[in-house]
């Protein structure tokens, strides 16, 4: 049914292609790749690597992309000869294994749909791909299927740095020119998802589509909203709102016709997940879903979501249709509101504030947040970081290319941008507390429901963003972060320190941005 010779594979084992979720689960259980939770979700442990390995990701330096790519630490170059050697090892390894093939698509908008093939030695990796990408509904959907992007997953193949020229035993190599990804040395399934996203971030701007690291949902009136942010800032949690229809939780495109999901599923952090706090996500983790590194009770097989003994970065992958009333088309109109989510470990940013267009550009290019424990190898405590466009590890093109696309969309569609701090209040990390989720939900709801449209706003004296003076259902003191600290002098010191970090980081954009954007940052 699926000929793998076009991918340089000559399998000696069995090839299992285009299987249902039930059949993939049966194979994974038979092969000892994991176990079932009480809910029916498949549970896998990823071993040594429980998060992405950004320092082991490479883009192939090829003639057609040489001048377009922003080479650097996020886009480490690999020469074509080295990639060919590694590709040969991956092909030889996979050809000696039983293989599981998922065929599906990225991009919910039909005019931009991208055929994707994932070839893996693990049945549960194919199941993960089935959760996250768009799936065929009938066998007829595969008529004429030719993958434009192929992902080869050789999880058990360890690289040899001295011989292969890699930094470690892990290699994520992406050929933009050929539409080919190799993943070796890691079982962490998130590498599959983010490799596809990286490729789309290269391809979509060529088709006049703004690619975004954001979640999206629709109100009862059909108005769309976007929530930008890095892992751990709350995109998945806040977008799964029972009062709104979910379009997607992480990756979208904004075309001249509106927004559309890149994916067909969600990939949520599950640490401390509860049925009361996040009921939609909790109930989505049933048969057909995948849990990564979640500890189960040995007797009941109930997930112990508070247990971080394997990692803080416990994850759940599930199809979008596991969320009640999710938008079945994966599409929406032009958004009225954009929310930039940041997990402020300094505890000095307001929980919500309104941005001017120039401030929106400034904060989009800055992409301030804190890396949350577990999202990357070696990160245990939150670390202040600036991730350009809230997606720096996944952007092959220069950052300002994406920022200009944002500016054009904001001006054309008169959308309002807000900065939302889901991090700390009453003190910095280790002293204060996280902004209560219930209050963040209320603030977001007030924005999207228009309740803050007539509210008075005052400028923050340090960050100069506009802060609402009140919001129904939220304590007034919470809106003014300085008043939540027991020692105002400590607040002032932390605020000045963060402001300086903003200014230092933005120096790299001085030659690329106009004066109005450069002066839109902290005082």
Closest C-alpha among 369, 377, 374 to residue 345: 369
**Three-class SS of residue 267?**
strand
Contact 147, 115 (CB under 8 A): yes
Residue 101 CA to residue 117 CA, distance in Å, equals 7
Exposed e or buried b per residue across 85-115, where buried means at least 16 C-beta atoms within 10 angstroms of its C-beta: ebbebbbebbbebbbbbbbbbbbbbeebebb
Sheet holding 35-36, edge to edge: 35-36, 42-44, 290-292, 315-319, 265-269
Residues ≥6 apart with Cβ < 8 Å to 166: 56, 58, 86, 159, 160
- Angle subtended at Cα 19 by Cα 17 and Cα 25, rounded to the nearest 5 degrees: 125
Going along 158-289, which residue ranges are E strands?
171-175, 180-184, 210-218, 224-228, 245-248, 251-255, 258-261, 265-269
Catalytic residues: 52, 194, 213, 231, 235-236, 250, 315
**Among candidate residues 22, 44, 27, 25, the one with its CA nearest the CA of residue 296:** 44
CA distance 340 to 246: 18
CA angle 107, 284, 344 (to 5 degrees): 75
**β-bridge partners, 152:** 119, 182
Instruction: Quickly count: other Cβ atoms within 10 Å of residue 21's Cβ.
Output: 18
């Amino acid at each position: 049914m699926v000929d793998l010779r076009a991918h340089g594979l000559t399998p000696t084992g069995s090839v299992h292609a285009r299987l249902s979720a039930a059949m993939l689960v049966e194979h994974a259980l038979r092969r000892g790749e994991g176990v079932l939770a009480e809910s029916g979700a498949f549970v896998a442990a990823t071993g040594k690597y429980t998060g992405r390995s950004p320092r082991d990701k490479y883009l192939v330096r090829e003639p057609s992309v040489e001048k377009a790519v922003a080479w650097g630490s996020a886009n480490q170059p690999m020469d074509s000869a080295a990639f060919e050697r590694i590709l040969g090892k991956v092909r030889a390894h996979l050809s000696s294994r039983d293989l599981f093939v998922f065929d599906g698509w990225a991009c919910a908008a039909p005019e931009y749909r991208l055929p994707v093939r994932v070839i893996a030695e693990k049945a549960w990796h194919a199941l993960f791909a089935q959760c996250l990408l768009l799936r065929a509904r009938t066998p007829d959907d595969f008529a004429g299927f030719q993958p434009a992007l192929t992902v080869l997953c050789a999880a058990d193949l360890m690289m040899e740095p001295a011989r292969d020229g890699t930094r470690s035993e892990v290699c994520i190599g992406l050929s933009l020119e050929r539409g080919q990804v190799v993943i070796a040395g890691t079982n962490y399934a998130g590498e599959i998802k983010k490799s596809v996203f990286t490729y789309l971030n290269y391809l979509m701007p060529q088709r006049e589509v703004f690619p975004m690291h954001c979640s999206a949902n629709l109100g009862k009136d059909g108005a769309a909203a976007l929530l930008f942010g890095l892992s751990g800032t709350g995109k998945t949690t806040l977008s799964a709102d029972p009062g709104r229809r979910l379009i997607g939780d992480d990756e979208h495109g904004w075309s001249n016709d509106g927004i559309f999901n890149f994916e067909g599923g969600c990939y949520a952090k599950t640490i401390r997940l509860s049925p009361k706090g996040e009921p939609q996500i909790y109930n989505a983790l049933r048969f057909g879903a995948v849990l990564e590194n979640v500890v189960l009770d040995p007797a009941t097989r109930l997930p112990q979501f508070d247990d971080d003994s394997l990692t803080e970065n416990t994850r759940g992958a599930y199809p979008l249709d596991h969320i009640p009333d999710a938008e079945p088309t994966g599409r929406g109109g032009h958004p009225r509101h954009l929310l930039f989510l940041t997990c402020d470990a300094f505890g000095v940013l307001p929980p919500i504030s309104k941005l001017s267009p120039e401030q929106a550009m400034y904060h989009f290019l800055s992409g301030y947040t804190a890396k949350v424990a577990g999202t990357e190898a070696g990160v245990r405590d939150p670390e202040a970081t600036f991730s350009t466009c809230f997606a720096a590890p996944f952007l092959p093109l220069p950052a300002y290319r994406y920022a200009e696309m944002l500016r054009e969309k904001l001006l054309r569609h008169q959308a309002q941008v807000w900065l939302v701090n889901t991090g700390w209040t009453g003190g910095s990390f280790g002293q204060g507390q996280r902004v209560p989720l219930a209050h963040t939900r209320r603030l977001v709801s007030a924005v999207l429901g228009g309740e803050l449209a007539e509210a008075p706003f005052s400028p923050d004296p340090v960050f100069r963003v506009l802060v609402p003076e009140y919001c129904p259902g939220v304590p007034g003191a919470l809106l003014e972060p300085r008043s939540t600290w027991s020692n105002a002098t400590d607040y002032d010191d932390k605020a000045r320190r963060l402001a300086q970090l903003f200014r230092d980081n933005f120096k790299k954009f001085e030659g690329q941005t106009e004066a109005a954007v450069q002066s839109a940052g902290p005082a």
